[in-house]
Amino acid sequence: MDLTQARELYSAYYEGTIERLSAVALETAMQADPEISEDYQLFASVMDSLPVLAQESVPLPHDLHDRIMQRIDHHEWEKKQEKRFSLFGGPKLAWFGVAAAVFIGFAAMAVIQANKAGGTSEANSVPVAQTPFEVSFTVESGAVTLSAIGPLNSSVVLTSPEAGVPAQTEATSNRAVKIPLQNQSSNPRVVEVTAMVGKTKRDSYVMVLPGTSRGAQLTGEGTLIDCAKAVAKTYGTPVQVEGDSSKACRWSLTQKDTTDTLVVALGRTNVTARVSASGILQVSAR
Amino acid sequence: MTQAADDAVLITQAQKGDRTAFDTLVGRYEARAYQYAFRLTRNPETASDIVSDAFLRVYTALHNFRGQSAFGTWLYRIITNCYLDFRKKDKSGRTSSLDSTIKGEEGEMERQIQDDADGPVELAERSAREGAVQEALSHMPEQQQAMLVMFHVEMKSYEEIAQVLDVPLGTVKSRLNRARLALRDLLGQQKELFFTG
């Protein structure tokens, strides 16, 4: 047996899975040839040293989970953008392309006209497509998640004045974010989400999150917010308040209301209720 | 419920678009994924990138996952592929970290090997051997390196490696023997580190 043949057997010999006859042949070769013997000894010694690598403590980056999820969110956003801005993605988008081309043509003509007139027109830049501001809420097992993506310099600001916690600002500048909305207190809590672009308020959303305790507040009068809190307290469901939240309203519910009958029951007063596609109960005052 | 059954429930929910289920799945596997990626790359940033890439691939291909192998095995395969892709792109080779420190979030730190109460001389020798092995590993072809790390560091069995690499068991055994021989040859110049006492 030469060195090359011997080497084919090293792993099996080292692991003890080698056949008896092969083992005898290898041992004989090692006794007869010091080169094979030394070669195998170094092989075995290197193998013996490998398990120490498994004991190495590898510190986990604290933001690893966020990085992974942000990567996925970014991918989702890019997919949305591709659909939205591809000129060849479908008939509607092709029309968008035509409209954009016409617009650019008119813009170019306006610049030419302005230059001919000797003016100092500032119309020398073509508008850049901006990500529209999208804010939505989803509910799963009673937990509400805010999803938002916005144009350049955009952010969402979360405030909860009753909770006495500082406002939370999340940048949404061409970036999808998901923020779980939580209420650890016993009573329902109002969370206001304001969509901002720079320092300009773009839109606002009011969400009433149920607290940890339940209680029947079946009838009452007050503002639309009070009504939403009563629903959240009684049924443990989050409620999105739309329109003028300070508008007066009254409500009369029963403990056995399901979502459908709840919508009907609220509809008998001056409150319009509906369930959004993402499962959020939305109320507004008529 | 077993881990596999639990995973199956999460995977089914995630396949239906449930992001919370996917999030939970990521949380369950990210540490193992990162350790494997780190042991291949020796660089925290690159390891994080590879793991993020791998989970993105999982996310986009999850609808095709039919449970032919365990989720963990599938993830290892994806991480290995992401690593091979990374090495292809990074023709200049790795810049890390065959010295005795790891770049962490709070600056550099000494590599920490769990100590079995050896004396300072033994510790120094072991540290030198470990450094030499790491250096040699980093110079090996990616496939061989991945195979050695999976078997000797991640403690995967031959069968698991065969599933991860999607090759027959006999191929794994012969390739692993070749990888071990290659490692032994690379360390041949430093044999004094391995023949002590």
* CB neighbourhood size of A170 (10 A): 17
The answer on pLDDT for A59 being more than 80 is yes
More confident residue, A102 or A195: A195
The answer on pLDDT for B78 being more than 70 is yes
Mean per-residue pLDDT of chain B: 81
Q: How far apart are the first and last CA of chain B?
A: 51
pLDDT for res B52:
95
- Highest mean pLDDT range out of A2-11, A52-61, A255-264? A2-11
* CB neighbourhood size of B191 (10 A): 14
Tokens of A71: 């990567």
The answer on pLDDT for A68 being more than 80 is yes
Q: Which residue of B has its CA nearest to A11?
A: B177
User: pLDDT-derived band of residue A113, with 50, 70 and 90 as boundaries?
Assistant: low
E runs forming strands in chain A: 134-140, 143-149, 154-159, 168-171, 177-181, 189-197, 200-209, 219-223, 239-241, 248-252, 271-275, 281-285
Tokens of B8: 């199956």
Compare CB distances from B104 to A10, A46, A59 and report the shortest one's residue.
Answer: A59
Do A22 and A7 form a contact (C-beta atoms < 8 A)?
A: no
Chain B partners within 8 Å of A59 (Cβ): 44, 102, 104-105, 109
Does the interface predicted TM-score (ipTM) exceed 0.85? no
Chain B partners within 8 Å of A181 (Cβ): none
From the candidates A4, A14, A53, which should be mutated to test the interface with B, based on the most B CB atoms within 10 A?
Answer: A53
Q: From the CA of B91, how many Å to the nearest CA of chain A?
A: 24
Q: Which residue has the tokens 């989050």?
A: A238
Q: Note whether B114 contacts A140, CB cutoff 8 Å.
A: no
User: Measured between alpha carbons, how far is residue A206 from residues A174, A240, A251, A276, B74 in Å?
Assistant: 23, 6, 19, 15, 43
The answer on pLDDT for B32 being more than 80 is yes
Q: Note whether B55 contacts A49, CB cutoff 8 Å.
A: no
Do B42 and B93 form a contact (C-beta atoms < 8 A)?
A: no
Q: Note whether A52 contacts B129, CB cutoff 8 Å.
A: yes
pLDDT for res B157:
92
Residues B118-164 have pLDDT tens digits of 566 666 777 777 788 888 888 889 889 999 999 988 889 999 999 88
Per DSSP, the residues of A114-166 read HHHTT------SPPPP-PPPEEEEEEETTEEEEEEEBSTTEEEEEE-GGGTPP
The answer on pLDDT for B169 being more than 90 is yes
The answer on pLDDT for A217 being more than 80 is no
Residues A224-277 have pLDDT tens digits of 999 898 888 888 888 999 888 888 888 887 777 777 677 777 877 788 888 777
H/E element holding B74?
helix B71-89
Q: How far apart are CA A179 and CA A146, in angstroms?
A: 5
Closest CA to B54 of A74, A63, A71, A76: A71
Tokens of A217: 């507040």
Q: How far apart are CA A275 and CA A155, in angstroms?
A: 26
Q: From the CA of A4, how many Å to the nearest CA of chain B?
A: 11
Compare CB distances from A52 to B102, B130, B194 and report the shortest one's residue.
Answer: B130
More confident residue, A111 or A212: A212
